[in-house]
Amino acid sequence: MQALITFDVPLGQRATEELGLPTDAYDTLSLALTYRPARSSAGLGGRLTPEEMEKLKAKYANVTAADVNRFMQRLPRDLLFIMRSTNMIRSLNLDLGGTSRQRFRVMGECAVRGLTLTTALEDVRRESAAWEAAHVLERSG
């Protein structure tokens, strides 16, 4: 997600490889998750230029439903769940009059908040384990 928000293509390609996909699949994932290619001149929530639209049409002109299915089957199940959830959020946001830019901003903020909470929780667990270990040693010694 960080690569998509910060437009960091090399980071996104590394993350794509970690998912077991070729690096060129990052552009497809970017398109599926943000509705724009990774190297788009349009910012998150911005409209693609007519030239970008034409390039996408040309790039995917010969892609079949079977190709899409094979690609989706290679994705981790957690990512598929995220994609389905994102699509539902996109639909609800549209029905409520929100913009893509607002949706991406809120989702990015929530992702950062989640990462911060996860890090804090890991710190608390580590400190708690150290405290318990110290007290076990005190009682046994």
DSSP 40-61: -SS-TTPPPPHHHHHHHHHHTT
Percent pLDDT > 90 in the chain is: 24
Can you tell me the distance from the alpha carbon of 4 to that of 31, in angstroms, rounded to the nearest whole number?
A: 10
What is the residue range of 81's domain? 2-99
Can you tell me the distance from the alpha carbon of 51 to that of 61, in angstroms, rounded to the nearest whole number?
A: 15
Q: Residue 123: pLDDT band by 50, 70, 90 thresholds? A: confident
The per-residue pLDDT for range 27-71, each reduced to its tens digit, is 888 888 888 888 887 766 678 889 999 999 999 999 999 999 998
Q: Higher pLDDT residue, 1 or 105?
A: 105
Contact predicate 108/7, CB 8 Å? no
Supply the pTM of this predicted model. 0.62
Q: How many domains does the chain have?
A: 1
Tokens describing residue 52: 């970008």
Can you tell me the distance from the alpha carbon of 72 to that of 77, in angstroms, rounded to the nearest whole number?
A: 9
| 120 belongs to a structural domain | no
| 37 belongs to a structural domain | yes
| 118 belongs to a structural domain | no
